[in-house]
Amino acid sequence: MINLVIGSQWGDEGKGKIIDVLAEKSDFVVRYHGGNNAGHTVIANGKKYPFHLMPSGILHPKSIGIIAGGTVLDLDVLISEIDILEKDGYKLEGKLFISDKCHIVMPYHKALDEAYENARGKNKLGTTKRGISQTYADKVSYNGIRLYELKNWEEFEKKFKFQCGVKNKILETFDVEKINITSEIKKFKLLRKKLLPFLADTFAILQSAISHKQNILLEGAHGVMLDNDFGSYPYVTGSNVITGGVNTGTGIPAQKINDVWAVVKAYTSKVGEGPFVTELNDKTSEFIREKGAEFGTTTGRPRRIGWLDLEAVKFAIDLTGTTKLAITKADVLSGIKELKVAIGYELDGKKIPHSSCGYLELAKVTPIYKSFKGWEEDLRPIKKYEDLPKECKEYLKFIEDFLGVKIAIFSTGPAREELINI
Ligand code: GDP
Ligand code: IMO
Ligand code: MG
C-alpha cells in the first residue's frame, strides 16, 4: 500500500501530525522534495519535534525513514536533527537512509536567496531565505553539487571551488559577504564523516519494498498553492508539490500510489507575500492566529490568516488526484459565531476559476462566500464523529460534498491522540 500525504493549501496544514499518525502502519516514511523551508510539527509522547528535513513518521519504532533524491539538504540542519533524535535515544543507523542524488544547499545558495530578497525591496517574495530556490536553480542548470559528490571527495572539492568562484562574483555585485572557501571545505569534511553511513540507493530500497508489498508513506511538504508549476508563480517554492513530484523525487511511478491524502486546514494560513483571496485582517484573524498558534515553524513569522478557500482547495484536489481528506484545526474555530467559506471567485462581475488566475487576477478577484453558523463546544476531547456539534458536522459535510471526496481523518488537536477516524 502506498499512501501520499499532500498539503492542499499554502503549507502548514498539519501534514506532520497526519503523517505521524499514518506512519504507525507504515514500513517506510519518505521525504521526497523541498528542503528545510518545510517545518512539520510532530508531538509524540508529550514532546514536540519541529522537523524540517527528517521524515515526520520516523519516531515510530517500525518505520524506516527515507530522504529521497528530490529533497535538497542543508547539511547543518540535517545533522542537528539527527543529533536531537540520537540524544533522545532513537538509533538512526539502519533506520534512516538518504539518497546520494539529494542536492546540497550550499552557503552561497542561502546568501543569494537573501541577497535577491533584499534587492527586490518592497516587491520581495517572502521566501524562508533557506536557499531553496537557488539550490533547485543550480540543479536544473547542471551547477548543483549532490551528496554523490560529497561521497567522492575530490569531485566535491573541485566543483565546490569552481562554484564558489562564480558565486562569489555574483555576491560581490550584491555587495554582500563572500564565501570563505577554505573554512567551508573544512566544515564539509567534518559533516561528510557523519553523513556517509546514511547514504544508500533509496530507489532500490523502495522498489524492493514495493515488490514485497510493504507499506510506504510519502510525505509531501509545503502546499499545492506553492507548487513551482501550478502555484501562483512567482509566489511559490522551488519544487513540485503535486503528485508528479513523487516520481521525480523517489522513482516510484505515480500510478503505484493507492491513496492521495489531501490535508485541509479548516481555515487558510499563508506565510510570505502574494495574493490571498480570503485573507482577514480583523479580530477573527487575530483570534485564529493566537488560538491556532499560527506562527511559522521555520521562520517564526506570524502566518497570514483567512477563511477556508474551497475554490482553491478544489483545484488542489483535482490536480493531485486526491482520494481521501484529512481535516485539521477545526477545533480552532470553536467560539466563532459565523464562519465563511469561499465557494468561487468573481472578476469584473463574472465567475472565474482558480485555474484561470495568475497572481494579477488573484489579487483582484472577490470571493463568493457561503456562511455557516459556528459552534461553541471545544472539539478537542471529542472522540466520535456523532458527538461533534451539529454545526461542525454541517461544515464538514459541505466540505466533503463540495470537494467530492470523503473525510477519512478529522484532527481535533495537535497531539497524536486528538483524532477521529471516520
Ligand atoms: P505542516 O507544515 O503541514 O506539517 O504543519 P505545521 O506543523 O507547520 O503547522 C501545523 C500546526 O498545527 C502545528 O503546530 C501542529 O502541532 C498543529 N496542529 C496539527 N493539527 C492540529 C489540529 O487539528 N488542531 C490544532 N489545534 N492544532 C493542530
Ligand atoms: P510546510 O512543509 C508554509 C513559502 C514561503 C514563501 C514561499 C517561497 O511547513 O507546509 P521558499 O523558501 O520555499 O523559497 O519560499 O514558499 N513556503 C512555505 N510556507 N509552509 C511551508 O512548508 C513552506 N515552504 C515554503 O513562506 O512564501
Ligand atoms: Mg509547516
DSSP 335-373: T-SEEEEEEEEEETTEE--GGG--HHHHTT-EEEEEEEE
Instruction: Answer yes or no: are the C-beta atoms of 315 and 398 closer than 8 Å.
Output: no
* CA–CA distance, 334 with 288 (Å, rounded to integer): 10
The yes-or-no verdict on residue 298 having pLDDT over 80 is no
311-341 residue pLDDT tens: 999 999 999 999 999 999 999 999 999 999 9
pLDDT tens-digit profile of 387-399?
Answer: 999 999 999 999 9
Taking the C-alpha atoms of residue 50 and residue 53, their distance in angstroms, rounded to an integer, is: 10
Of 400, 396, 392, 397, residue with least CA distance to 374? 392
- Tell me which residue of 323, 256, 250, 322 sits closest to 2, measured CA to CA: 256
pLDDT at 45 over 90: no
Q: What's phi and psi for 193, nearest 5 deg?
A: -55, -45
Substitution site in 222, 225, 233, 305 for ligand 2 pocket (most atoms within 8 Å of beta carbon): 222
Q: Cell numbers for 93, please give them.
A: 543507523
Is residue 9 in contact with ligand 1, taking CB distance under 6 Å?
no
Q: What digits encode the pLDDT tens for the residues 197-217?
A: 999 999 999 999 999 999 999
Give the confidence band of 19 by pLDDT, cuts at 50, 70, 90: very high
Pocket of ligand 2 (CB under 6 A): 7, 10-12, 37-40, 125-128, 130, 132-133, 221-223, 226, 237-238, 271-272, 297
297 pLDDT above the threshold of 80: no
Q: Which ligand is nearest to the CA of 36?
A: 2
How far from the centroid of its chain's Cα atoms is residue 82's Cα? Answer: 19
List Cα–Cα distances, 39 to 55, 193, 421, in angstroms.
Answer: 11, 26, 25
